[in-house]
Amino acid sequence: MFRKLKCLSPLCLVLQVANETLHTDRPDLPECFQLSVLSWLPCIYLWAVCPIYLFYLKRNNRGYIMMSIKNRFKTVFGLLLWIVCWIDLFYTFHELRHGHSQPPIYFVTPLVLGMTMLLATFLIQFERLRGVQSSGVLFIFWFLSVLCAIVPFRSKILQASMTDKLRFTTFYFYFTLVVCELILCCFNEKPPLFSNVVTDPVSYTSQRCFPSLSMAIKGYKMPLEAKDLWSLNQRDSSKAMVPTLLKEWEKEQAKAKSSPEEVEVLLSNQKAASRQPSFLRALIKAFGPYFLIGSGFKLLQDLITFVNPQLLRMLISFTKQKGVPDWWGYTLAFLMFFTAFLQTLILHHHFQYCFVTGMNVRTAVIGAIYRKALAITNAAKRSTTVGEVVNLMSVDAQRFMDLTTFLNMLWSAPFQIMLALFFLWQNLGASVLAGVAVMIMLIPFNAVIAMKTRAYQQMQYKDSRIKLMNEILNGIKVLKLYAWEDSFKEKVLAIRQKELNVLRKTAYLGALSTMAWTSAPFLVALTTFAVYVYVDETHVLDAEKAFVSLSLFNILRFPLNMLPQVISSIVQASVSLKRVQGFLSHDELDPNSVDRKNTATEYSVTVVNGKFTWAKEDPPVLHNINMMVPQGSLLAVVGHVGCGKSSLISALLGEMEKLEGDISIRGSVAYVPQQAWIQNATLRDNILFGKPYNEQKYRCVLEACALTPDLEVLPGGDMTEIGEKGINLSGGQRQRVSLARALYSDADVYLLDDPLSAVDAHVSKHIFDNLIGPEGVLKGKTRILVTHGISFLPQVDNIMVMVEGRVSEMGSYQELLKQNGAFAEFLRNYTLEDIIEEDEATGRDLIEDEQMFPDDALSNHIDMVDSEPVINEAKRNFIRYWKYLNTVTVYSLTTLSRSVRRHGCSQRKHGEPQEKKKPHEMEKLIQAETAETGRVKTKVYLEYAKAVGPLLSVVICLLYGCQSGAAIGANIWLSQWTNDATRNQTKENVNMRVGVYAALGIAQGILVLISSFTLAMGNMSAARKLHHNLLTNKLHTPQSFFDTTPIGRIINRFSKDIYVIDEALPATVLMFLGTFFVSLSTMIVIISSTPIFAVVIAPLAFIYIFVQRFYVATSRQLKRLESVSRSPIYSHFSETITGSSVIRAYGRHSAFVLMSDMKVDENQKSYYPSIVSNRWLGVRIEFIGNCIVLFAALFAVTGKESLNPGLVGLSVSYALQVTMSLNWMVRMTSDLESNIVAVERVKEYSETKTEAPWDVEDKKPLPEWPMEGNVQFYNYSVRYREGLDLVLKNLTLDIKGGEKIGIVGRTGAGKSSMTLCLFRLLEAAAGEITIDKVKIAEIGLHDLRSKLTIIPQEPVLFSGTLRMNLDPFEKYSDEEVWKALEHSDLHKFVSNHPAKLELECSEGGENLSVGQRQLVCLARALLRKTKILILDEATAAIDLETDDLIQSTIRTQFENCTVFTIAHRLNTIMDYTRVLVLDKGQIAEFDTPTNLISQRGIFYGMAKDAGLVQ
């Protein structure tokens, strides 16, 4: 036979192959074919790829890999292969010498193979030297070699009796070595040495089949933690991605700007508008190329999809034929399996590229938004709240990410539809046009639904609900004190109702579109088959035509249903695109508005003819500013509230729009804002602020800022973690930390915006003397000090007096007094005593409450919405904070932190033992957010089912069951119909066949519609209940919860988690139920047609559940880690916006950008493995699906004799579509678990401990209670939280109605705690308080709180009308409201405003000055006019006039009421009935002021300090 192998002509070869292969029961390929085609294929591949690959390796050097044992083996095996091939060659020469001449192929093949093996061995070493850990090129080569050697391997076994022993042996050697090479190629080499390139942790094969097995195993054994995650690939990090996008975006902006101006004039408005920079184009340029690789895979996958229906046709025709070899059938079955498997691999590569692109887009968009937020102007900030910007980062960036996954469907869907129609035309001829007509009719239907859905894609209700929630949470303490929760709850629920109405409409439209896409393939099939059999009597619908068409229709279903979805996703993303593009197009602050390079003059700060405004369209705030500050001098800036002092500082920092003039500053700047900005970091980090640590300098700074005593009391010294918003520091401490930061930065120019207002008199004196003043550490530096304190003015070099945004006078103290102008008048109004007191006062108050640094996800922060000119005085920061001030007041912090947050610190000795007892607990004030671990408890699913409605849940499942039943019925009927062809009964039954088929299909459509509607209704009611419970619980939660939980964490529940419950969860449930019933019906159909399939189901189901368990465990935990690592991105973002002016002043812009990038990367680190685990899952689950196809086809072949073609078609076409449903089912199970976590998180916060009931029916006090206003404390003690020391101990007091009581004491003595106890914000630990003989502990909180009035230190206003801020329940008439405004001196201001009482207050009341806001709080108190008034005296940042006004109003209007005043200025309480002096939580003195002074005790000492007694 060998001798006859001379024939090598192609035709001869083909005939020989056909004879030996097809028509025989033992097929084989001719040796000639084996030795030529099969042997040369891998060689051709390697030689073709080699030049390109070598060029690539030369360009990309990743370092050098040490020679490992694995590498040595690979090399040795390569050389052995070369030897084996050449043994064959020499043997042929040997035969030639002995007269046995062989065909040329025996010389050529071993030679070619030997050369190729040498090349492969060379590549193994070259890759090692170039740092390649895993080679794709060689893997494919070895894989092809093994594949091509399998046929000769089988032939050699079949011809084992042949005599050619040597070739037989060498071939088996060859085969073994190639297999060994393939196996070795699957493993990774060690990482290269001396390499800065990121290396692949995964081998080439692993990348192709996505085994994140190591992580999956770890995740299955125990919940994954952040440390188990892989580090992010370099190319996916923010460092690589954000600049890529920004570069393209800058090009776009440059293009938009560069258009010539004349053209602009000529163009119409529309065209001018269209020339905005396109963010879309920037995205495409930045991420398009990588994404295109994925598109290439998608194209391949689309083509391969259509192979299986053709194989199905061959299989059905095989079952019809008699006497053909069985192996044809088996080959078809295996071919179907391999095609499906190849399709799986290619599809998942496509997904991998798309998901990674999506992830990169999100990283880049978040990075771009963050960088922009640090640079936008105040006008731009005013147009966007922090809530909206965080939504850009969370929701909109997410939408881009979701869209990239399916973006390829835009071209792929029409392509698949066209291919399917082409094959259908081949199958059924022109009848297909009927089906196409149905499809075309469905397009407008789907389009209308998509358009309607688009109309409902508004985010405005969600935005406004989050904004309101944010205000409520920031002002929660005020709501509680005023008992206003109900009014605000109604407001939130009203917005929520609108939001739900939109969602309901969307859900109903969704149900319609679900029906459309479920019924579309069926309607198309029905019309096509009906037309086919009716058009021509000779047309017979046999199994081949019907089921091949059906499988093509099933392929059609995916593109048909995806197209509308992709279009609606694009619609959503286009809305997001506009929002992001709008934000990124905002104006930025001009970095050159302040000239920092001016070294010519001896003046450090010069402003010439300065005219400044907050926004270009607003009137100027500062006019005609001329100032020259000599190097090393101290300039004080004074003036009334709202005269533009803080604005001046902002202008010097370049924060304002410069309309005219020049500013120059020599050298670096340090800035202390009026409201200290503290980061959530350690105390030391806050002071160093990125500068290197220098022990000696640091100690000196602490000393100068009077921080040393505070460090002794802080639990971790200077390494104590400062909570969000500086919560565990008092106002004064925060201000001193802010000063310390400025001092440590060692700048040339210091801009100090009223830093002394927040500290006690003696501390402010210390700071002035040691730090700011002529003898302080900063002497020799240029200092500009805005101040309200008049006592320091004689010591400054120059004073600048501002009036209404202009400089009215400037000169030294003596000069200004001589001029006898506005300044002298100002001084005369306030006696020196007032001044000293004011200073003392200023501090303690803010201390109390400036607590809040908004930090979290959606808190709206100061400079975000910057303000009208009026508010410049208190600097936006201050103002913005006023509203947070009381959100987390000190009282709920630990006793320890109470002692910490006081300046003196020394008075509270009992804080220290506490610290020793529990050092660990104190370090972390704000607990890290916990991620639930392990499986989601069944209870959570039941809770959701309960929220949907138990009966409704059962009905929904039944409806889904019926719908699947109808679908199975229709297909079984079709299989019966096709069998008519074999029995020649086609004519008589046509009408009945078509009629029943139609009826079953339409029934299915109607059931789908009903079940989708019912499901939508159920989901809506669940969303409503869950939000309602969460809101109700949060308004009933005690204040202490808000003190220890960052607002962002709570807001996250209201935004992200409620969004999931509203939108993501219903979709997941719908898909889950759909896929579950499809998979179930497939199994039923296959088992009923080939019962033996039941045997395979058990092992396949076992593998399926096993893989699903593995995956879900890992995926769920990754989802949780991802959501926990998401909050810090937004927290940090909010913190940044809050302090953006400080960050810019110190030039720390890039460091903060870096921090944000790290947080985003940390978040993507847990997202990337979830992409890979999805691919891992997909490949394995689809493998099981492919096995089902294989077994369905195999059993159809084995049962060929007993099965009719209809049943074969039915079972195999069902099997072909099961892969998709199995895959989706696992994914939906996992998504369901991931999304149900939102229910778990919302439930967790709906069940936190609540405060006492608002109303206690059987204990309701009389409506007119309290009549007299008597207050008794009896042995009263209180602590902040369980397990902490008492703050007030055994207070016993008896206060008669109408008494005026002043409460004084050193900082930390328990003054505020005492007033909070009256409102039961703190509950008694022992003893009781009675008011007019009613025990306050027994009545409802609202009954109590609505009968008391407090004027808090910091005025908190909510966005809404002025009237709503005064009277949210509309209890009072307009007349009463006007009267209150008159008494509180606001009448003139409000009546001059066009909107009168409907005057809109912006968020936090930003459009009113601080003084005006304080007066609004006074008006609230006048309206309520309760018998008991508590006044927490506000001093900081309020000018003395406003304060006097409040005092005099209270004296006249509340004459008959019991008044408690926490006094900071002793002169305000000198005429009070009695004064209570608290010390360390106990009563130290309690008597009339005169008696106390004569006793010469603590009160006398304080009065002496204040200069009230000699």
pLDDT value for 928: 59
- Tell me the pLDDT band of 899, cut-offs 50, 70 and 90: very low
Is the CB of residue 981 less than 8 Å from the CB of residue 320? no
Backbone conformation region of residue 1385, classed left if phi is above 0, alpha if psi is from -120 to 50, else beta: left
Residue 225 has pLDDT above 80, yes or no: no
Is the CB of residue 376 less than 8 Å from the CB of residue 420? no
Query: Once rounded to an integer, what is the mean pLDDT over residues 99-105?
Result: 80
pLDDT value for 1329: 87
pLDDT value for 922: 41
Element (H, E) at 1419: helix 1410-1424
Which carries the bigger pLDDT value, residue 246 or residue 1446?
246
- Tell me the pLDDT band of 213, cut-offs 50, 70 and 90: low
pLDDT value for 299: 92
Query: Once rounded to an integer, what is the mean pLDDT over residues 631-652?
Result: 84
Query: Once rounded to an integer, what is the mean pLDDT over residues 770-783?
Result: 84
Average pLDDT, the chain: 78
User: How many CB atoms within 10 Å of residue 824?
Assistant: 14
Report the b/e string of 1164-1201 with b at 16+ CB within 10 A. Answer: bbbbbbbbbbbbbbbbbbbbbbbbbbbbbbbbbbbbbe
Q: How far is CA 1118 from CA 364, 1048, 1170, 1234, 1235, in A?
A: 21, 21, 6, 9, 12
To which residue do tokens 């009933």 refer?
Answer: 1036
Residue 844 has pLDDT above 70, yes or no: no
Q: What angle do CA 54, 60, 61 make, to 5 degrees?
A: 100
Task: Look at the alpha carbons of 561, 563, 566, 568 in this order and tell me if their dihedral is positive or negative.
Answer: negative
Distance of alpha carbon 641 from alpha carbon 1434, whole angstroms: 14
pLDDT value for 194: 64
Strand, helix or coil for residue 764 = helix
User: How many CB atoms within 10 Å of residue 1236?
Assistant: 22
**Given the DSSP bridges, would you call strands 1458-1462 and 1300-1304 parallel, antiparallel or unpaired?**
parallel
Lowest-pLDDT range, 280-289, 1118-1127, 1148-1157? 1118-1127
pLDDT value for 723: 72
Q: How far is CA 812 from CA 780, 793, 1337, in A?
A: 18, 9, 59
- Tell me the pLDDT band of 215, cut-offs 50, 70 and 90: low
Nearest to 492 by CA among 507, 475, 470, 474: 470
Sheet holding 669-672, edge to edge: 669-672, 749-753, 782-786, 634-638, 798-803, 806-811
To which residue do tokens 């709570």 refer?
Answer: 1050
| Both structure tokens of 850 | 């400036």
Residue 630 has pLDDT above 60, yes or no: yes
Distance of alpha carbon 722 from alpha carbon 742, whole angstroms: 18
Q: How far is CA 469 from CA 465, 665, 1035, in A?
A: 6, 42, 11
Nearest to 1198 by CA among 329, 311, 310: 329
Distance of alpha carbon 655 from alpha carbon 862, whole angstroms: 13
Task: List residues bridging with 1200 in a β-sheet.
Answer: none
Residue 323 has pLDDT above 50, yes or no: yes
| Both structure tokens of 1167 | 């997202």
User: How many CB atoms within 10 Å of residue 814?
Assistant: 9
Is the CB of residue 832 less than 8 Å from the CB of residue 791? yes
Q: What angle do CA 610, 615, 621 make, to 5 degrees?
A: 45
Query: Once rounded to an integer, what is the mean pLDDT over residues 247-256?
Result: 86
Distance of alpha carbon 409 from alpha carbon 299, whole angstroms: 10
Query: Once rounded to an integer, what is the mean pLDDT over residues 675-699?
Result: 85
Distance of alpha carbon 966 from alpha carbon 1366, whole angstroms: 63
Distance of alpha carbon 51 from alpha carbon 672, whole angstroms: 64
Report the b/e string of 526-548 with b at 16+ CB within 10 A. Answer: bbbbbbbbeeeeebbbbbbbbbb
Q: What angle do CA 291, 294, 300 make, to 5 degrees?
A: 150
pLDDT value for 1035: 87
Nearest to 689 by CA among 1147, 374, 1156, 1140: 1147
Nearest to 550 by CA among 424, 425, 450: 424
Residue 761 has pLDDT above 80, yes or no: no
Residue 836 has pLDDT above 50, yes or no: no
Strand, helix or coil for residue 1294 = strand
Q: How far is CA 768 from CA 752, 756, 759, 964, 1212, in A?
A: 12, 8, 11, 82, 88
365 CB burial (10 A radius; 0-12, 13-18, 19+): buried
Q: What angle do CA 52, 57, 59 make, to 5 degrees?
A: 95
pLDDT value for 894: 30
Contacts of 1228 (CB under 8 A, 6+ apart): 1068, 1071, 1072, 1075, 1076
Residue 920 has pLDDT above 70, yes or no: no
pLDDT value for 600: 66
Q: How far is CA 735 from CA 418, 594, 676, 730, in A?
A: 70, 26, 5, 9
Query: Once rounded to an integer, what is the mean pLDDT over residues 970-977?
Result: 83
DSSP per-residue codes, 700-721: HHHHHTT-HHHHHHSTTGGGPB
Strand, helix or coil for residue 1262 = coil
In this structure, the chain runs to a length of 1510
Distance of alpha carbon 985 from alpha carbon 1001, whole angstroms: 23
Nearest to 436 by CA among 449, 418, 451: 418
The end-to-end CA distance of the chain, in Å, is 131
- Tell me the pLDDT band of 933, cut-offs 50, 70 and 90: low
Distance of alpha carbon 1277 from alpha carbon 1317, whole angstroms: 10
Which carries the bigger pLDDT value, residue 393 or residue 454?
393
pLDDT value for 300: 92
Distance of alpha carbon 1026 from alpha carbon 1037, whole angstroms: 16
Amino acid at 610: G
pLDDT value for 692: 87
The number of angstroms, rounded, from the C-alpha of 1390 to the middle of its chain's C-alpha atoms is 42
Query: Once rounded to an integer, what is the mean pLDDT over residues 263-283?
Result: 62
- Tell me the pLDDT band of 986, cut-offs 50, 70 and 90: low
Lowest-pLDDT range, 1372-1386, 1400-1414, 1456-1470? 1400-1414
Tens of pLDDT, residues 148-199: 888 888 887 777 656 677 888 888 888 899 999 888 888 877 777 765 554 5
pLDDT value for 898: 29
**Given the DSSP bridges, would you call strands 1482-1487 and 1474-1479 parallel, antiparallel or unpaired?**
antiparallel
Distance of alpha carbon 115 from alpha carbon 97, whole angstroms: 24
The number of angstroms, rounded, from the C-alpha of 161 to the middle of its chain's C-alpha atoms is 70
